[in-house]
Structure 1
Amino acid sequence: MPVTVTRTTITTTTTSSSSGLGSPTILGSPRALTQPLGLLRLLQLLSTCVAFSLVASVGAWVGFMGNWCMFAWCFCFAVTLIIIIVELAGLQQRFPLSWRNFPITYACYAALFCLSASVIYPTTYVQFMAHGRSRDHAIAAIAFSCIACVAYATEVAWTRARPGEITGYMATVPGLLKVVETFVACVIFAFISDSYLYKHKPALEWCVAVYAICFILAAVAILLNLGDCTNMLPIPFPSFLSGLALLSVLFYISAMILWPLYQFDEKYGGQPQRWRDANCRNRHIDSVCPWDCRLAVAILTAINLLAYVADLVYSARLVFVRV
C-alpha cells in the first residue's frame, strides 16, 4: 500500500516513490550500484557470500543450528543478488511483488537472519571447536555475518518512512514491527518443535495456539502489502491492522502469564531450576536442553508482547486517507 507519512497521518496514494536517501534511485543502469544504497547492497552481497563460503570450505556446521546459519547466509545472498539484478535491469514494474514494500521488508528480515546467525553460530558451535583452520574460518564467518547484519540494518534505517515522504506501509514503524513479530514467532516455533514441552497441558497448548494465530495474522498483513491486495479485505485495512494489534496484545498477555507459570512453577508441574533437569546436565553442540527452550520461549514471548504493544500504539496514531 503506497503511503505518505506526515507525522501520524498515512495517506494512500499512487505517486512514485524515492529511495529514502534524499535522492531518486537510478533505475535500469549500472550507475545504481554507485549510489549509497547500491554500494550498501554490494556490501551485503559480499559479506553474506564470504560468510557461507568460509564455513562451507571447511564443513564447519552441523545439526539444526548450523543448518539454520548456513540457510540464513545463503538466503540473504540469493535475495540480495536478485534485488541488485532487478534494479540494474529496471524490472521493478515487472516484479511480482510491490517494489515499494519488498526491499525494506526483505532488508529487515535479512538483518534479523544475520543477527540470529551471528549469535547462534558462535554460541552453539564455534566455542566447541578445537583451535585450528576450521575454527579460524568460522570466526571470520561470524565477523562477516555481523557486517552483513549492520549493512541490512543500515538499509532499513535509510529507507524507512519519514514525515512527508511517499512510501509503502512496510516502511512504517508498524510495518517493520510486523516483520519483527513474525520472525520472533518463527524462533519460538523452533524452540517448541518438541511437543513434549507443552503436550497434555491445555494452558500451554493455548500458548502455542496464540503464537500460531498471531503469526498467521501478522503474516497475512505483510503478504497483503507485498501483493498490493489490501483492498481485498472485507473490512478497511486500517481497521484490520488495529484489530490485529489489539487481539495479538490480549493473546500474548495470556501467553506471557501462562507459559512461565506452567513451565517454572512447581505447583503447576513446572521446573523452576535448570540443574534439576536431567537433560540439561550435559551440553551438546547440536541440541538445546528442554529447560533452556522453556526459558527462551518465555523471553521471546515477552519480546513479542512488547512489539505488539508498540504496534498497537503506532497503529492507533496512524490515520489512513485515500486520495
Structure 2
Amino acid sequence: MPVTVTRTTVTTTTTSSGLGSPTIVGSPRALTSKLGLLRLLQLLSTCVAFSLVVHVGAWVGVMGNWTMFAWCFCFAMTLVILLVEMAGLQPRFPLSWRNFPITYACYATLLCLSASIIYPTTYVQFMSHGRSRDHAIAATFFSCVACLAYATEVAWTRARPGEVTGYMATVPGLLKVLETFVACIIFAFISDPPIYQRHPALEWCLAVYCICFILSAVAIILSLGDCTGQLPIPFPTFLTGLAVLAVALYASALVLWPLYQFDDRRGGRARRREDSSCPYRHAYFVCDWDRRLTVAILTAVNFLAYVADLVHSAWLVFIRV
C-alpha cells in the first residue's frame, strides 16, 4: 500500500549534489517536540510504576508478573524509540518506521490499560493498609497516566480521513492490534487444557482463536516489514478476505463457547457457585468459571472488532475500485 507520511521528529539536510534529498540525522528535537515530551511522560510514568512496586516487593503470582512485564516492556520499548529518533537511526531500523511507533503505542496502551485494571482488582484490594499498599496504589495511578499518554500518542499519530500513511496508522491497522491483543488475553485464560478439552466444540473455539490470531499477526508483520507488495493478491483484498473469514469463525465461537460452558444440559455450569474452584473471592487467583466467563466476553469483543475491521477494509477496497 502507498505510504508517504512519517510523523517522527527528524532534521533534514541537503546533499552536496544539490538535489535536496532529505537525510535523517540525530536531533534533540526528538525530546523537545510535543510527541517527544509525551514519550518522556510515558517513560517516566512506567518507570515510576514498576519502581514503586519493586521497592516494596508488591507483586505476587501470575497477575503480578503480568503487570510488571507490562510496565517494564513499555518502559524499555519507549526508551528504544527515543534513542532511535535522537540518533536518527530510523532508516537503519529493521522495521518500517512509518508503522512501528504507532503499532507499539497501541499495544502499550492496551498493556497499561490491562495492568491498571488487573493489578488493583487482583492484588491491591486484598492488601492490608500500610506502606506497601500505598506504593501499590501510587503505581496504579502512574499506570493510568502511562495508559492515557500512550492513547494520546495513538490519537495524535493515527491517519486522518483522506490522508495517505502507513497501514498500521489506519483504523483497520489499529483494529488488528486490538484483535491480536485480545486473542493473547484469551490464550492466557484458556491455558488450562480441561477448560476446552471437555467437548470438540470447545476445541473448535480454540482453533478459531488460533487461526484468527495468526492471520491478524501476519497482516501486522507484513505491514511492519513493508512486505505488502509481495503478496500474490492486492493487500486490501487480502485484508478483506481475512476479515470475512474471521467474522465467520468468531460468529461460531460466539455461539459455541457460552453454549457448552454455561448450559447445564451440555456439561457446563450456569452459575458461579456451582464451580467448586470458586467458593470465595481470593487474591492472585482466577477460578475456572471466571476464566470461562472472561473468554466469552473477550470473544464478543473480538467479534465486534472483526466486524468493524470488515466494514473498514471493504470500504477501502470499494473506494479503490
Asked whether the two chains share a fold, i.e. TM above 0.5, the reply is: yes
**Hey, what's the Cα distance between the residues in 2 that align with 1:28 and 1:187?**
38
| Alignment partner of 1:19 is 2:7 | yes
Structure-2 residue corresponding to 1:51: 49
Which among 299, 302, 308 is matched to residue 300 of structure 2? Answer: 302
Deviation at residue 164 of structure 1 after TM alignment: 3.5
Q: Which residue is 1:9 aligned to?
A: none
% identical aligned pairs:
75
- SS of 1:316's equivalent? helix
Is the alpha carbon distance of 1:59 and 1:68 closer, same or farther for their aligned partners in structure 2, counting shifts above 3 Å?
same
User: 1:220, CA displacement in angstroms?
Assistant: 0.4
User: Who is 1:66 aligned against?
Assistant: 64
Once the two structures are superposed, the pairs formed by residues 279-294 of structure 1 within 5 Å of their partners are 279-294=277-292
* Preserved contact between residue 237 and residue 317 of structure 2 (Cα < 8 Å): no
1:30 and 1:320 mapped to 2: Cα distance?
A: 43
C-alpha contact 1:18 1:25 (8 A) present in aligned 2: no
Aligned to 2:181: 183
> Please, what TM-score do these two structures have when normalized by structure 2?
0.93
Q: Structure 1: how far apart are the matches of 2:40 and 2:208?
A: 39
Displacement of 1:177 after TM fit? Answer: 0.1
Q: Which of 70, 81, 84 does residue 83 from structure 1 map onto? A: 81
1:169 aligned residue (149, 167, 170): 167
Structure 2 counterpart of 1:234, from 194, 219, 232: 232
Is the CA contact (8 Å cut-off) linking 1:238 and 1:320 kept in structure 2?
no
Give the SS at the match of 1:311.
helix
Please report how far the alpha carbon of residue 232 of structure 1 lies from its aligned counterpart in structure 2 after TM superposition: 2.5
Residues 8-157 of structure 1: pairs in structure 2 closer than 5 A: 12-13=2-3, 15=4, 17-19=5-7, 25-26=10-11, 28-157=26-155
How far did 1:321 drift?
9.2
Query: Where do 5+ consecutive residues of structure 1 fail to align?
Result: 2-11
Equivalent-residue separation in structure 1 for 2:100 and 2:202 (angstroms) = 35
Whole-angstrom CA distance in 1 between matches of 2:177 and 2:203 = 24
Matches within 5 A, 1:215-234: 215-234=213-232
Aligned to 2:209: 211
CA contact (8 A) 1:174 1:314 kept: yes
- Return closer, same or farther for 1:236/1:78 CA change in 2, 3 Å cut-off: same
Distance in 1, Cα, partners of 2:10 & 2:118:
35
Q: Is contact 1:108–1:179 with CA below 8 Å preserved after alignment?
A: yes
- The structure whose residues are more often strand, as a share, is 1
Amino acid at match of 1:220: V
1:119 aligned partner, one-letter code: I
In structure 2, how many angstroms separate the alpha carbons of the residues matched to 1:320 and 1:55? 50
Contact 2:10 2:85 (C-alpha < 8 Å) held by counterparts? no
| Structure 2 letter corresponding to 1:306 | L
CA contact (8 A) 1:245 1:311 kept: yes
5+ residue gaps, structure 2: 12-24
> How far, CA to CA, are the matches of 1:160 and 1:154 in structure 2?
10
The 1-side partners of 2:319 and 2:77 are apart by: 33
Q: What is the count of residue pairs matched by the alignment?
A: 307
Distance across 1 between alignment mates of 2:277 and 2:264: 18
**Distance in 1, Cα, partners of 2:164 & 2:314:** 20
- CA distance in 1: counterparts of 2:89 and 2:64, whole angstroms: 35
Task: Give the root-mean-square deviation of aligned CA atoms.
Answer: 1.5
